[in-house]
A and B are shown apart, each in its own frame.
Chain A
Amino acid sequence: MMAPPFDPGALADAAAPLLGIPLTAESRAQAIVHLSIAAQQAELLLSAGIGDEDEPAPVYRP
């Protein structure tokens, strides 16, 4: 199933009150810019074919 289009404005509006972060109109606009850049980076990253068994880099050693 195709992922729905990424909507940074909806994410910002939903997440800010949940995170308890006050969001001015100026901050909202800039956060949307940065979320959009992040989404582009994530799209590139997720195209890498990362496997289920691939271990993440940091391994906790008790």
Chain B
Amino acid sequence: MTPLLDGSAQGIAAAVEGGFASAVEVTEAALGRIEARDDAYGAFTDIVARRALAKAAAIDAARARGERVGPLAGAPFAVKNLFDVKGLATRAGSKINRDLPPAAADATLVAKLEAAGAVLVGALNMGEYAYDFTGENAHDGPSRNPHDLAHMAGGSSGGSGAAVAGGLVPIALGSDTNGSIRVPSSFCGTFGLKPTYGRLSRARTFPFVASLDHLGPFARSVTDLALAYDAMLGRDSDDPAQADVAPMPSALTLHDGIGDLRIAKLGGWFARSGDPCAFEAVDRVAAALNATRTVELAGAAKARAAAYLITMAEGAALHLGRLRTRAQDFDPDVRDRLIAGAMLPGAWVAQAQKFRRIFHTQALDLFRDVDILLAPATPVRAPKLGQRTFTLDGEELLLRPNIGLFTQPISFIGLPVVAVPVWTAGERLPIGVQVIAPPWREDLALRVARALERDGVVSAPVAHVP
């Protein structure tokens, strides 16, 4: 079963569909691998073995009856523990939420993946209340980077990155408010998709910043990323924030190559304040795509500032009651940022929302002339666990607030992004590049990522067993 678990969800589904493996066998093997390896990775907080085996048995029974079993049949997946899983308290990385009653129903995206045949095996570690870029958690311990256990998995979807990179599951779901899919993808060397803001349903997930929250998949192949994304498309009346936009599946064009797409690197803000390796990775991707142009998003620094302020204020508003009554039960690093957020002048936040529209207009103007933008995903490779500061352009900065320098301006205006992992000979850890598309064009970002994967420029290998 090892080759199947180290391979793709697509490969597992083909094996189950073709009768070469049963869904129960795959699920048992995945549960055994999680049991054997996850003490090292710290990726899982909950295992739902009974549910998983029952789902797998249902898939095998459906196949035996000659029914279609779905494009992800038998593929194990897991979700960041801010997704509702029926029967579990949705802890969202916190101690406080463990007091909530068990969820009465699954999150919409969990149900959609299961409808495509995937098998939920558990819930994943995350930074408390998603206010985190490190993957560390004061209550559950850190998610560790499977490629070097002394290093961060990244956050806040740290368990999602670690579970996929560690070969525990081929697909995981995470959330991304300011970079929480793209940062762990960069640190752990996985593919990650942050769709357009409003594209996928957020129903029955624990929020952080309503203006900026997105959900999306992690995977070790672009095809799996696209399969998961396509399976999760569709209007959901349970999510009032979802946009009324027609679904655009990516499968039909995924393997078309870059064709005549106009691709450019982002300069300015996106070409400074990082380790050289971050920019070298962008250069390698750009060279492979014959992208010679560099363009500017002039308002990026202000966009990042605005995203920062909206996050502080909306996050604090969400948690104000808990800050009043249960301050001692928060992770101190999260609590004190939220306390500061509760004190922000309202005028700053109102101006930030005005600037969001201005910056959105700037980006749409740029996309008249370009189809895809390239930028670093993180300014550095994964820092060591426990590291508090890093030095960028000669200035020592707090690490937690600044890992998202390059992701925040992009999610601020909700653009779809695929994070692709770049490896350098002699380095144990990867670093990611953002492949950024115009609003609602996830298909373009996935198509470019697939072309890079096909040409061997980017890849997401399973980490060596610890």
Contacts and interface: CB of A to CB of B under 8 A. Distances in A.
Asked if A pairs with B, the answer is yes
Interface of A: 11-12, 15-16, 19-23, 26-27, 30-35, 37-38, 41-42, 44-48, 50, 54-58
Contacts of B335: 27
B336 A34 contact: yes
Contact of A30 (B308, B336, B344): B336
B327 A12 contact: no
A22 B328 CA distance: 10
Contact of B355 (A26, A32, A35, A45): A45
Interface of B: 211, 299, 301-302, 304-306, 308-309, 312, 320, 323-324, 327, 332, 335-337, 339-345, 348, 350-358, 360, 398, 401
A42 B309 CA distance: 7
Given A33-B398, A58-B211, 4 more contacts: A35-B344, A38-B312, A46-B348, A57-B356
A45 B353 CA distance: 11
A56 B327 contact: no
A15 B352 contact: no
Contacts of A58: 211, 353
B356 A56 contact: yes
Contacts of A32: 340
Given A44-B302, A45-B348, A31 B323 contact: no
A26 B335 CA distance: 11
B342 A21 contact: yes
Given A21-B327, A56-B350, A57-B353, A34 B340 contact: yes
Given A31-B343, A35-B343, A55-B357, A48 B299 contact: yes
A38 B340 contact: yes
Nearest to B241: A58
Contacts of B358: 48, 50, 54
B357 A54 contact: yes
Contact of B309 (A15, A41, A55): A41
A12 B343 contact: yes
Q: Is the interface of B mostly helix, strand, loop or mixed?
A: helix
B336 A31 contact: yes
B336 A27 contact: yes
Interface of A is mostly: helix
Contacts of A15: 342-343
Contacts of A34: 312, 336-337, 339-341, 401
B339 A21 contact: yes
B320 A19 contact: yes
A45 B204 CA distance: 33
A36 B344 CA distance: 11
A26 B333 CA distance: 11
A23 B350 CA distance: 26
B132 to A, nearest CB: 14
B389 to A, nearest CB: 12
A21 B316 CA distance: 11
Nearest to B414: A57
A20 B342 CA distance: 11
Given A26-B332, A30-B336, A34-B312, A41 B305 contact: yes
A42 B193 CA distance: 30
Nearest to B413: A57
Contact of A35 (B320, B327, B340): B340
B156 to A, nearest CB: 17
B412 to A, nearest CB: 9
B323 A21 contact: yes
Nearest to A14: B343
Nearest to B312: A38
